[in-house]
Structure 1
């Protein structure tokens, strides 16, 4: 695959799934703008590959998204691969969910993705090829126990992608969502701590619980999600559109 001349933009691109996708795209020739709120984290990530360029953006802030995408386009050309990846994952029972928690979740996981896609499409329209690859979750296609707010945000993201795919049928752009189950990122240690605090389990026991949350008994590597994103950028993936692709070890 040769992505030379393509400009990709990946939100939440400094860590985890985001930086794995960004590096994979850069390794195949794309120039990649990685965005996030923490300039130091983005700067460290950008040092790992000459094709990565850091741009501070807060996806919860419309002005920040508009200005950040505009700056990236001015510096590196139209965005042809848009990867709205930035998100937060936290479970909370519905009766313990206040509006501040709900709005923060939606503003990040759904509003932020919408704003990113909207702004990238403005420049993508000037080109003859484009890919939007949203990072949803297995919670975007099924209800995740203990996380109704998170599930709602990720279901909404899948709905957004399907609506966009319908709008652009026959155009040279595709819109798909990747829906991974539990991925081995920095969120895992946080979840392990919560499990330990809630149950009294040891760290090893809590880690075993996390591994067992996926049907195939292990955490998913960020690289596995990145490879799926690369596949959607292949010349022969143009008929894959409007899909919620599960990367979940056999989750049904």
Structure 2
């Protein structure tokens, strides 16, 4: 096994897909607020462990990272996949919703980066990839708070990439469109509740955002992350890599 990949939100959705993709060749530490999903995912990998922590709790997250490093050595790659979404028209978007989304989607990334970055800089090598969204690059009706949080993540990525450009550390964002995950399933349920559409019609409505007319396969996102973690992507930093079937060009 080469390297130690730390994945926040690694028990479900795109985080799990990344864990499964990179777990064949690297040691993997999974962090999530619920022990069950990360432990189940870790159990399917060759050399992996689960550490329960909420990414919004900086102290708990730091303790989890320290435990992971005691198990597998210094973190060589961070994949910040923990994230949540919510929807509402702007007129009904309360500040509490905005704060909740920023706490997980932005502060959660910052908290993880602050823990792992010093050792990466000292080693003159590291990979940081955050799972953003096409919502980091465009607006979506009824998802203003979510889009704002993902735009903020991309700003963080680009600024950190400049700060670390000469250190051997690369920092990038992967921006999926609607992917075939539990988060999208929740979006489908909301569409059904609000519009009365069938599950099939709601799913088709989301798929229609892509010129390809389909949802993104989580493995397509995971494979993009794997590439960014590799040696051949050492000149790629500060980028938003879109995996969305042509939705954003």
TM-score range, shorter-chain basis?
over 0.9
Q: What residue is the counterpart of 1:22 in the other structure?
A: 19
Deviates more, 1:142-151 or 1:206-215: 206-215
Give the deviation of 1:145 after TM superposition: 1.8
Q: Which runs of 5+ in 1 are unaligned?
A: none
Give the deviation of 1:94 after TM superposition: 1.8
Q: What residue is the counterpart of 1:10 in the other structure?
A: 7
Q: How many residues align?
A: 248
The CA distance in 2 between the partners of 1:23 and 1:224, in whole Å, is 12
Give the deviation of 1:53 after TM superposition: 1.0
The equivalent position to 1:53 in structure 2, one of 46, 49, 56, is 49
Q: What residue is the counterpart of 2:232 in the other structure?
A: 236
> Contact (CA 8 Å) 2:136, 2:175: kept in 1 or not?
yes
The CA distance in 2 between the partners of 1:174 and 1:201, in whole Å, is 43
> Contact (CA 8 Å) 1:7, 1:77: kept in 2 or not?
yes
Give the deviation of 1:17 after TM superposition: 0.5
The CA distance in 2 between the partners of 1:106 and 1:226, in whole Å, is 24
Deviations 1:10-42 (A, max 9, x none): 000001100111121111x21010110111111
> Contact (CA 8 Å) 2:121, 2:168: kept in 1 or not?
no
Q: Which runs of 5+ in 2 are unaligned?
A: none
Give the deviation of 1:85 after TM superposition: 0.8
The TM-score, its normalising length taken from structure 1, stands at 0.95
Deviations 1:153-199 (A, max 9, x none): 10111111111111112221100000001000012222122111111
> Contact (CA 8 Å) 1:23, 1:52: kept in 2 or not?
no
CA RMSD of aligned residues (A): 1.2
Q: What residue is the counterpart of 2:68 in the other structure?
A: 72
Give the deviation of 1:234 after TM superposition: 2.2
Deviates more, 1:218-227 or 1:67-76: 67-76
The CA distance in 1 between the partners of 2:178 and 2:154, in whole Å, is 18
> Contact (CA 8 Å) 2:121, 2:167: kept in 1 or not?
no
Q: What residue is the counterpart of 1:180 in the other structure?
A: 176
The CA distance in 2 between the partners of 1:156 and 1:70, in whole Å, is 27
The CA distance in 1 between the partners of 2:27 and 2:137, in whole Å, is 31
